[in-house]
Structure 1
Amino acid sequence: MNTEFTKLSHENIFYKVDKLREELSGLESLFETEMNKLSSVMEIYNNKKDDDDCEKIKLKIGIMGQVNSGKSSFLNALIFNGENVLPKDCISKTKIITKINYSDTKRIEIEFYTKKEWKEIKNALIKEGEIKGAKFVKEVFEFINASEYDVEKYINRDNEIFNFQDYDELLEKIKECDDKYNNYRFPIKAMNIYVDDERLKNIEVLDTPGVNDSNFVRKYTIDKCFKYVDIIFFISQAAIFLDNLDVSLISNQIPVESAGNVFLVASKYDNVIIDEGWKFKSLVETDKYIKSRLTNRVRKYVLNYVSNSTPIFMSAMANNLALKKKDKYTDEENYIIKQLNDLWDGFIFNKEKLMFIGNFENVKNKISDKLDVKENLMVKLKEEVERILLDIEDKSKQKIYIIENTDIKYIHLEQEKIKLKSQKIYKGIEELIEKTKDSAVNKKKEMEKQLEFDFLTLSEIKVKKKTIRIESEESNDNIKWYEGLFKKANNEQIDYNFVDYEYVEIDEVINDINSFDSNTDIYLKKMISDIMNFNILSENIIKIIFENLDENNEKFKLNYVKKFVESSIYSIKPPSININVGEYVDIIKSKFSDETTGESIEILKLHSKAIMKKIYNEIMEKVDSELQLFMFELDKSYISIVKYILEIMNNRIESLKNESYHLERKLKYYKKIISIIEGNIMEP
């Protein structure tokens, strides 16, 4: 391993990744780039690791080809040195993907799709439908719905297990699986065959169905399974090499990204040698002709789907004949070797010639190259994971520093600033309101003085004089009548033709009463006008608020605050005094004539003063009451505005608290991440 990447010492670095992904569930955005890279690496690792040893990478060998193309013989020769470990037809003839793995318990497991996988298939199907049209999607789902079984019944189902003891029973169990699931394939992901031969350790063989169809679900599954296959051997009988079905299988089943890993194998090469050899003088000529002809078929029909244009010509039969002693040959093998030896006079197929036709060394060399890659893959994966984890660790430490030394400090300072701003606002508005109230008290005193002056002035009855002419003939009689009305000075002789007397006009008294009332209302309005100007008060309050709140920082609209303040101030109802003087006027009118004279004037004076005093007292009570109400309204507006500002401030403080909470949470996660990466959290 590159010494640059040796900081993380845990044997299983992939455990750390799993732990990180668990811890960061829902918070992947903290390390979006790094987690995406890790996901890609882990997808490769999870698809290639050995289930029995997570520190090892499995070599995944993909097998494709038609039924009876020689796939089982190929695998026996390749993996088991020609031993018939996998009997013929052990690879399912059904439309299910078959996987062959090692296990100390021989069994077949039918693997069903999980809910997540089935959802992915449906989404992919819909996406495919966008390209091919809605009719395509409709036809596929109609096929599913018309199937014998309920799809949902099989989705997320536990694997169904069929145990076997020997290879004859293996074939029986395969047939049993075929019979059970042959009519329905959609919810079945794969048939897994487990064999207790240690030569299969660290190897997984995947075989595709040997049939060609347009089944979207199966093609999707093949693409997913073969995406991480290390090497793919497409087996085609040399005698019918790359026929129409082969070409169709290659074009439909080989994933595009796997094209570089595909090797075309012309199997049963011994048969085509026997069929074509009589036309030529030697094995060399025959071999050259066949290989040239079949290679041209590759270039003509499938070069667009595979990168390797030269096929591998091999014969499992010839390979087995080369490895066996002659006395161990079966009747079939003796027949084949006789046919080969009869091709050319004097030419005998010895071990060397059989190995040449078998050509399994070439196949094993391909495998060997992939094994070298496989051995280095785990190292490369670890190095890549370690590089990403170190990036995450460095980023976490940077984030911790920023959060602790910048973000959290900023929040604390911001909270203190908001508290100070709040206090300034409350104090400033309170001072304005108190100043307005003090002004009201002072103006009330001035108004009381003015009312007292009006009371004294208007309470004085205005007595007028009047001269009247008396008729002479009735003078004596009239003198008696006027005696109570006229003043006589020093018993002077009265001029009976012209007489002077005093009187009071009741309408003037009534006017004075009404004036006292109306003047009070005028004084009150002037007093309120002097006390406060609603526009100025609103502007002053808004100014105090705006000086201490910044729209960008406080995250609220100042126009809303302005409207609220103006609404609160203008909702204050100005004091008004409505005294009902009508009853007092009615008393005067009922007791006195329009022109009151003589002794009635003194009585009128007493009544008028008493009425004015009563009105005065009532006015003063009303002024006190209205002023108290006015001050209450001021306090009410102050409280309303303060509550509104307090709500804004509290919202901002709550927002900061939430920010602080999320920062603390991030801090916790960053520290936990560092602990995981540095190995402070033990593996299970």
Structure 2
Amino acid sequence: MNINLNDLQNKVTDLCVLFSEQASGFTETESLLDLKQELADKTARFSAEEQCLSIGIMGQVKAGKSTFLNALLFNGEPVLPEAATPKTANLTRITYGEEPRLEVEYYSLEEWQALEKAAAQPGDSAQAKVARELIALAQQNQLNVAQKLQYGNVEPLSAASNEELLTLLNQYVGENGRYTALVKMTHLYLPREELRGYEVVDTPGMNDPIQSRTQKTRDYMAECDVVFFLSRASQFLDQSDMNLLSEQLPGKGVKRMVLVAGQLDATILDDGDNRASLAETEENILTRLGRGAENKIQDLVNQREQRGQTEIAAMLSEMKKPVFASTFAHGFACLPHEKWNQAMHHSHSELTEMAEDKWNNYQFTQQDWLRIGNFATLQKAYEQARADRQPLLDAQRNSIASHTQEQWQHRLQLLKEAVESRHHKLKTGDINSLQQQTQCEQRIGNFDMLLKQHIRQNIQRINQATSELMASLEQQAADYQQVHTQTGTKSIQRSRTVSTSRWYNPFSWGSSETIWYTDYESYQFASSADAAEQVRKYAQRCKQDIEHKFNQLINPSTLKHELKASLINVLDTKSEHFDPQGFRTILDHSIEKLKLPTLELETGNMADMISSRFQGEVKGNDINALRSTLADTLRQVFQRLGQSVRQGENRLCDALKTVSATLASSLTQDLRNELDKLKHDFSQHQQQLEHYSQLLVLIEKNQQL
């Protein structure tokens, strides 16, 4: 059953107005009215976030991600700008906005210092090269980096139109933009109806010199409903792609992964010279690249399974059958000629000329372009993600509705009991017997001692359980100390001298020349990003386990039940002047208002201890240093949490002592307030009896929302 949350919210609002008018004399009405705002908050969150379908795009720079997105979402219009070079590529979020605007997130000073450290490293690794280019770009634009970064990380920027926004964007992400070097992430808001209900996450395609940016990419990818991984068919799943898959994929969270062999038109152009027809060319490409993809992806699956990362291994398995596609071919089939850009015109010209020269004057058809473009398959994957999302949305919507119904009935029941109690006293009692109820106040003071006893017992349970839990978590740290190595390849320019002597040419005897060629060398490396993620996982595991145990021991419902039972026991419930129903109602409602503490821990970003020392690929002896740093960091995480737990114990004790000091006086005051209200009701005896009878009918009538 699908619930309309707006209809539910309107009904709750109307009922709250009704009960605020008819039951204004009861404190229980306030709790009922609070439900309106609680539902409004949940509905707003659900509408703004949960219903947003998140689309992630991964791939190297120049893999055609922006063109792909423009074709998939905007009918080929150039809405999204293209990344210029690896050094300018950053994480970009694109969402709907009422007006065009941009939010720019800069590096922190600490992150910039880490970048400077990476730039100072010897060698020509991708990380060091990009870091040097960014620093050179900042110097070229004469930026005072410290001054620019010290005022906060996020800067909002507005524009009068989409065109003005994209022009402004070039200053922050353009290849030579004034502030490009300092930008870590951008959030683009566009007033495009196609973006309503969607979030597009375009990831940087590079070995990032800033560890925090790699982690931010992982965090966003974990929230995506569907991720398209783009790899150029001409260099399908090369080593850079495989490294990117290893580095940026999150440990969990991605619902659907689609491997796209893009720019198929360029590969057809390369391969077609050696084939007799378009059909033979396509068959050769699809067979060759498909077999290679299956083998390479299976290697990744095996690596993840060996690490115990079964979720990501299962998700990677879905990528064994790539989708071959071409945004240009899709444009040839679907866009009018005047909307083709220069690159499309050039590609179309070369393809048609080759077909005429090599394939016996073959003419491409509309069906050929649609098949090569293959956007119907991509659209199907996209729509399937939406379909998969819908049951989850329905479940979340129904959960909000059922929780609201439960809370409504619970709070309405409290109001009903209060009304029944007051109606009963008006109908059967008199003002003198009500005065006798104040004798209960004399015995409430005895409750303090019992309350303190309960607090001591709870603290003892906390101390014992925490000691056992911390011992267990300390042992579990060993599970997070694993640093797995991977195999990478690097290209090396080598040369050799060859003789150019010819027997028939005496003048050439003894001559030679140098020939340069590219060789490839394998090496072992560990990922600093993986080590940092191990720290985050361990910290999160410890945090969740400790908070769960604490909040289980200080369970508000259980503690409130114990308090009620203890207080009833110390009162003279056999007295002829004691009204058990009336007193229990006041007692229930007084204890219900208590704000009992929960434990929340902050671990900080301990992974910075990894990223401050290691960036990107870690090789040679540095791998052992990474392992040592990881083990030391995990120990410090455990020690910091231990300190937080002790501080949390003190806060819990102080909070519970406050409950002990104030509950008795609060309950006494509630009894006095109730007596004052009843005295007022006796002055309008018959009128109030009728009002309470009508109110009970109203409550019974509105049990169901």
TM-score normalised by structure 2 residue count: 0.45
User: Which of these two proteins has the greater Rg computed from alpha carbons?
Assistant: 1
